[in-house]
Amino acid sequence: MPQARATHLTRRGLLAAGGVLGLGAALAACGDGKGKDGGSGADAGNGASGPWAFEDDRGTAVKLDRVPANIVAFTGVGAALYDYGIQVKGVFGPTKTAAGKPDVQAGDMDLSKVTVLGNTWGQFSVEKYASLAPDVLISTMFDDAGTLWYVPDESKKKIAQLAPSVGISVYDRQLTRPLQRVWDLAGSLGADMKAAKVTDARKRFEAAAARLRAAAKAKPDVKVMAGSASDQLFYVSGTDLSVDLEYFKALGVNFVEPPESAKKQGGGWYESLSWENVDKYRADIIMMDDRTSAIQPADITKATWKKLPAVKADQVIARSPEPILSYDKCVPLLTNLAEALEKAKKVS
């Protein structure tokens, strides 16, 4: 997983005492009214969407009698589908901050229109899920074993009984692959993929990619480090598994790359450093994890952090290790890095 502190958390039991009460009835009811609302996108509500099929990145072919109406998705996937005009019924994963505001992974979704099944790692209300009469569950996958992101191991069998699932891989590939997969998925769900908003976003993404390639070519000696902060440790991400970093590297960006031996404790994703050793690698630009699970740069008080050349030069930008997989939301990821490279001074 991409520098997620979830690796250090214990998966909590999903259901409290008595939480399974009525689950059997909910399971039975789940099959009674599926698809009555028609498709989820442009054809939603007309009840004439016809059969639906989609083969996911596990090689699993999901086939239904009609386009799914009741979609439940990992928050970031729901946000990506929203950008294409697909409204999901429920989400799970980081959706609201402790202050009640939309999480960065919720994108532009209207949270008043979705049921939140769980907001943190290990939380997923099976009863709420069943009450939505789900047609399909959609999530990303951060390994090659087909593990659905933020679907708890403790309840995955119960969850699987309620509806088929679709997995989109974001493991060991460049960003453009899952972007295309979500594009294809949205189209299959009834989104208008010829709408100006949609096609313009794709063109802007392609233009941003060209800009980043040019910026990287002009500044080949500028070193970029992808980091993430917790209270005790600083994480330096490698580029080999992350969809964003693999893509940026392919465009020519010169990244700090911890050796494989150093990334073993992080499952091959990252190296963990004490704050005393945060200066182990020289970097001119630091990209910092923007997820709410990570300490943000403005809140880092460590003296060793403040002494880093990139920090002193104000060459620290945000990074989204779990990008919302729509072209619209990925444009800023490319643009911000391109702009940082264009303005960067060699400070390391």
Give per-residue pLDDT as tens, 125-154: 999 999 999 999 999 999 999 999 999 999
For 12, other C-beta atoms within 10 Å of its C-beta total 11
Q: Note the pTM of the prediction, 2 decimals.
A: 0.87
- Over residues 189-212, mean pLDDT: 98
Query: Is the confidence at residue 340, as pLDDT, over 80?
Result: yes
- Of residues 45 and 270, more confidence is placed in 270
Q: What is the distance of C-alpha 142 from the center of its chain?
A: 10
Over the stretch 280-323, which tens digit does the pLDDT of each residue have?
999 999 999 999 999 999 999 999 999 999 999 999 999 999 99
Pairing mode of beta strands 223-229, 61-64: unpaired
